[in-house]
Amino acid sequence: MYPFSFHHTQKITDTVSLKKESPEGKYIAGGQSLIGVMKLRLDKPSELINLGSIPELTGICVDGKTLTIGAMARHAEVAASADVKNCIPGLSQLAGLIADRMVRNMGTIGGSVANNDPSADYPAGLLGLNATIITNQREIKADDFFLGMFETALEPSELIQSIRFTAPIQSAYAKFKHPASRYAVVGVFVAQFPGEVRVAVTGAGASVFRLTEVEKALSNNFSASALDPIHISADGLNSDFFADSEYRAHLIKLMAIQAVNQAQ
Ligand SMILES: Cc1cc2nc3c(=O)[nH]c(=O)nc-3n(C[C@H](O)[C@H](O)[C@H](O)COP(=O)(O)OP(=O)(O)OC[C@H]3O[C@@H](n4cnc5c(N)ncnc54)[C@H](O)[C@@H]3O)c2cc1C
């Protein structure tokens, strides 16, 4: 591990100012991705700016059909929250499927979204639910946020404060887990809103993406049988030791069917 300075602040404004003063520095939330990257010496931030003592980044609240989750909410907290379960059961289910107990107790929604790992679960939930990412300087729709592998629309010092969701009619997440890491080999989030169905896929491409053909079919008929005639092309999908692109294409359809059945 390289040497670095560690900073604590309690206010968003101080935190962002510190980050602006140290361009080689990084925010640290649960550390579940960043510390691993540092141990592998793939990154060596000069400063770590801890987000764990900022009350404004915590909490989960519901107002009618609007659910807002603070960036520092741990995966375990989202999975266990009665508000999340009542408002968006598919999101609660997704959080409970992330990694293992230890990672769920440390990792945060803000860290996962900012990291945009191509196999992470939350990006599928945010894109499928048409969520809004609220930062210290603006609001960004999920459709405009996830730009590519480990790449987002965040500017260098921009801080995610919270994520806002609107409750769908029904939703669910189905995931085919990697047996060792439990990251998604393929994960599919399905959400039905009045007049619209959204379907988002993680694990299969360079970044999370929507499946417009499946969305159209489910908008006409929200049932697993609507997916019978659909063929998912393997073109452009990830291929690796565990799953080639053809297998991932097969898994996308299978996970979409499972998610629709679970949602119902
Ligand atoms: C063994 C293992 C298994 C895992 N399995 C899964 C899995 O199955 N599914 C899954 O989705 N994930 C999985 N993860 C990743 C885990 O969910 C992490 O919690 C998540 O990727 C990062 O969240 P974090 O809070 O730990 O962020 P950190 O590691 O602290 O930070 C990650 C990055 O985000 C930035 N950042 C953090 N918070 C903010 C913020 N509020 N605003 C702006 N930038 C910010 C940091 O600067 C850093 O660049 C796994 C991790 C491990 C170690």
pLDDT at residue 3, as a whole number: 87
What is the Å distance from ligand 1's center to 195 Cα? Answer: 33
Q: Do 185 and 177 touch, CB atoms closer than 8 A?
A: yes
Average pLDDT of the chain is: 97
Where do the domains of the chain lie? 1-54, 170-263
Pocket residue to mutate for ligand 1, from 20, 34, 39, 208, most atoms within 8 A of Cβ: 34
Pocket test for ligand 1, best of 20, 115, 186, 188 (most atoms within 8 A of CB): 115
pLDDT digits (tens, 9 = 90+) for 19-47: 999 989 999 999 999 999 999 999 999 99
Residue nearest to atom 1 of ligand 1 (CA): 181
CATH topology of domain 170-263: Enolase-like; domain 1 (3.30.390)
**Would the pLDDT of 111 be above 80?**
yes
Q: What would the 3-class secondary structure string for 143-197 be?
A: HHHEEECCEECCCCCCCEEEEEEECCCEEEEEEEECCCCCCEEEEEEEEEECCEE
Ligand 1 touching residue 145 (CB < 6 A)? no
Model pLDDT for residues 56-99, shown as the tens digit of each residue: 999 999 999 999 999 999 999 999 999 999 999 999 999 999 99
Which of 44, 88, 25 is CA-nearest to residue 263? 88
**The predicted structure's pLDDT at residue 63:** 97
Q: Is the pLDDT of residue 1 over 80?
A: no
On the question of pLDDT at 2 being above 90, the answer is: no
Phi (first) and psi of residue 112, to 5 degrees: -65, -40
Spatial separation of the C-alpha atoms in residues 260 and 258, rounded to whole Å: 6
211 near 127, Cβ under 8 Å?
no
Q: Judging by beta carbons within 10 Å of its beta carbon (0-12, 13-18, 19+), is residue 208 exposed, middle or buried?
A: buried
Which residue, 229, 197, 114, 129, is CA-closest to 161?
114
Residue 105's CB is within 10 A of a number of other CB atoms, namely 14
pLDDT digits (tens, 9 = 90+) for 188-234: 999 999 999 999 999 999 999 999 999 999 999 999 999 999 999 99
> How many angstroms separate the CA atoms of 264 and 154, rounded?
35
For residue 87, the model assigns a pLDDT of 97
- 202 in contact with ligand 1, CB cutoff 6 A: no
Q: Does CATH place domain 1-54 in 3.30.43.10? A: yes
The angle subtended at Cα 225 by Cα 261 and Cα 171, nearest 5°, is 30
Mean pLDDT of 134-142: 98
Q: Is the CB of 96 under 6 A from ligand 1?
A: no
CA angle at 25 for the pair 4 and 159, rounded to the nearest 5°: 135
pLDDT of 181 higher than 90: no
Residue 230 vs residues 188, 213, 217: alpha-carbon distances, Å: 15, 8, 9
Predicted pLDDT of residue 134? 98
CA distances from 225 to 169, 178, 248, 261 (A): 19, 27, 20, 10
Is the CB of 103 inside a 6 Å radius of any atom of ligand 1?
yes
178 lines ligand 1 (CB under 6 A): no
Whole-model pTM: value is 0.97
SS3 state of residue 207: coil
Q: Whose CA is nearest to atom 31 of ligand 1?
A: 111
The average pLDDT across 146-170 equals 98
- Determine the distance separating the centroid of ligand 1 and the alpha carbon of 125, expressed in angstroms: 15
How far apart, in whole angstroms, are the C-alpha atoms of residue 164 and residue 264?
Answer: 24
- What's the gap between Cα 166 and its chain centre? 16
Q: What percent of the chain has pLDDT over 70?
A: 100
